[in-house]
C-alpha cells in the first residue's frame, strides 16, 4: 500500500455555509469515488479557500459526511490578483494501491480551468 496525494477543487457560486458544505461534499465524494477510496483510506486532508470565502470552514463538510477520525486542516490561499474567486481546494493524503499516474485528480465545474493538465 502506497501513500498518494489527490488534488481537487471547486468554485462556489456564493459564500454561504450551506452552499459551501454541498459543494465541498460533492468534491470530496467525487475524489473518493473516482479513486475507489473509502474514508478509511484517508490519512489527512488539507482544505484551502480563497480569501473571499469566510462563511465557514470547508472541513465542516467532511465532518458532515461522517469523516470524523481523519486529521483535517483549513488554510487560506494566497491573495493573488486575477486568481479565480470563491475556490475551495483539497489535498488529500491517502493509502492506495494506485500508481501515481492512475490517481484521478478532480476539478469540478469552472475549477477545471485551474489544472487542465490533470483535471479528470
Q: Distance from CA of residue 23 to its chain's centroid?
A: 10
Residue 115 among known ligand-binding residues: no
Q: What is the distance between the alpha carbons of residues 88 and 98, in angstroms, rounded to a whole number?
A: 25
Residue 18 among known ligand-binding residues: no
Residue 89 among known ligand-binding residues: yes
Backbone angles phi, psi at 26, to 5 degrees: -60, -40
Q: What is the distance between the alpha carbons of residues 114 and 11, in angstroms, rounded to a whole number?
A: 10
Binding-site entries for prephenate: 7, 89, 107
Task: Provide the annotated binding site.
Answer: 7, 89, 107
Amino acid at each position: 500500500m502506497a501513500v498518494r496525494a489527490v488534488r481537487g477543487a471547486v468554485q462556489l457560486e456564493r459564500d454561504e455555509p450551506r452552499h459551501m458544505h454541498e459543494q465541498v461534499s460533492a468534491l470530496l465524494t467525487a475524489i473518493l469515488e473516482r479513486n475507489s477510496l473509502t474514508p478509511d483510506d484517508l490519512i489527512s486532508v488539507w482544505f484551502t479557500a480563497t480569501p473571499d470565502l469566510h462563511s465557514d470552514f470547508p472541513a465542516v463538510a467532511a465532518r458532515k459526511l461522517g469523516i470524523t477520525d481523519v486529521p483535517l486542516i483549513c488554510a487560506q490561499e494566497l491573495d493573488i490578483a486575477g486568481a479565480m474567486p470563491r475556490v475551495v481546494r483539497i489535498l488529500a493524503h491517502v493509502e492506495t494501491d494506485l500508481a501515481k499516474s492512475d490517481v484521478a485528480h478532480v476539478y469540478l465545474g469552472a475549477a477545471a480551468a485551474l489544472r487542465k493538465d490533470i483535471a479528470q
